[in-house]
């Protein structure tokens, strides 16, 4: 049996739009250090020294080419091999490199975890502010803003509404926030606010 040419078109299934998650910028130095650590895992002092010699040779070769002269990845790899070459000098004979016990690696992992937690907290706060701004906008459109009690962080929601409006200050939201502050409502009861 032969297939008709051109092939029949089938109904195309529409795909849901994909939203890209925010990503960290690429850090070539970090990539270079990680590549070296993966290669060095299980190496003894002699193997690390040989790898250091190879990295130094590669750095000399790269310095001869204009486009590779300031290669951040290669420089980071060389620096990491040099650091790893110093580690076995203090360790007992026969010790192999393990990134899980390397204090520098563990400190980097802890710093990355702290930075990720801080980014996550900032994202949660931005989401909360955007939701409160949406709520205030909806109340404003329903003319129910005056019956609303202020919440902690409404200043950030006011800033978000002003940003959305292109710098235009919405007089009714501004007046509502000023009245809440003047009347010392809810969290504005504290004189420091």
Alpha carbon of 127 to those of 120, 152, 163: distances in Å? 10, 15, 15
Give the mean model confidence (pLDDT) for residues 33-45: 92
Condensed to tens digits (0 to 9), the pLDDT of residues 109-148 reads: 999 999 999 999 999 998 888 888 888 888 888 887 777 7
Name residues whose C-beta falls within 8 Å of residue 169's C-beta, 6 or more positions apart in sequence.
Answer: 162
Condensed to tens digits (0 to 9), the pLDDT of residues 47-88 reads: 999 999 999 998 888 888 777 667 888 899 999 999 999 886
Report cis status (omega within 30 of 0) of the bond before 12: no
CB 48 within 8 A of CB 82: no
Q: Per-domain residue ranges for the chain?
A: 28-101, 123-189
**pTM of model > 0.85:** no
Q: What angle do CA 182, 138, 163 make, to 5 degrees?
A: 70
CA dist 97 and 100 (Å) reads 9
CB 117 within 8 A of CB 142: no
């Amino acid at each position: 049996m032969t297939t008709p040419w051109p092939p029949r078109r089938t109904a195309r299934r529409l795909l849901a739009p994909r939203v890209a998650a925010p990503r960290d910028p690429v850090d070539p130095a970090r990539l270079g250090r990680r590549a070296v650590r993966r290669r060095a895992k299980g190496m003894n002092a002699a193997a690390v020294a040989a790898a250091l010699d190879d990295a130094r040779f590669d750095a000399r070769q790269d310095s001869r080419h204009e486009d590779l002269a300031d290669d951040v990845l290669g420089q980071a790899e060389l620096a990491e091999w040099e650091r790893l070459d110093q580690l076995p000098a203090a360790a007992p004979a026969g010790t192999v490199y393990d990134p899980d016990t390397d204090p520098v690696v563990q400190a980097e992992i802890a710093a990355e975890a702290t930075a990720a937690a801080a980014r996550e907290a900032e994202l949660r706060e931005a989401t909360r502010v955007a939701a409160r701004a949406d709520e205030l906008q909806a109340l404003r459109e329903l003319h129910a803003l005056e019956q609303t009690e202020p919440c902690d962080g409404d200043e950030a929601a006011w800033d978000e509404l002003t940003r959305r409006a292109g710098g235009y200050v919405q007089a009714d939201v501004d007046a509502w926030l000023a009245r809440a502050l003047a009347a010392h409502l809810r969290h504005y009861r504290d004189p420091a606010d």
